[in-house]
Amino acid sequence: MGKSRQLVLNKGIQQYVFRYEDGSEGHLLDAIVECAGDSQTDFDWFDAAVLSFKLTQSLIGQADKLLHNDMHDAMQSF
C-alpha cells in the first residue's frame, strides 16, 4: 500500500481535503473534476486547477527526491 497523502484547499470559511494513496493520483483527479462539476458546492474549476497544480508540484518534488536518492546510491557504489 502507498503512502497516505492529502491535498488541502482553504476557500473562505470552507476547507476541502482530498486524501489519497501514492499511485492513486488518477482517482484523485477524477474526484477533483467531479467536485468542480457539482453545482451544489462552491468548489469550482479554478479550485480544481489550483489543486491539480499543487498535485503536479508534489509529484515533481517526489520524483526529484527519488532521482537524488538514486544518484546518491549510484555514487556510493563507485
Q: What is the tens place of the pLDDT at every residue in 65-78?
A: 888 876 666 566 65
Pairwise CA distance, residues 47 & 52, whole Å: 9
Taking the C-alpha atoms of residue 10 and residue 46, their distance in angstroms, rounded to an integer, is 13
CA distance 22 to 54: 15
Task: Give pairs for 12-19: CB < 8 Å, separation 24+.
Answer: 12/42, 14/42, 16/43, 16/47, 16/51, 18/51
The stretches in the chain having pLDDT less than 70 are 1, 70-78
Domain count, the chain: 1
Q: Residue 65's pLDDT is what?
A: 83
What's residue 62's pLDDT? 85
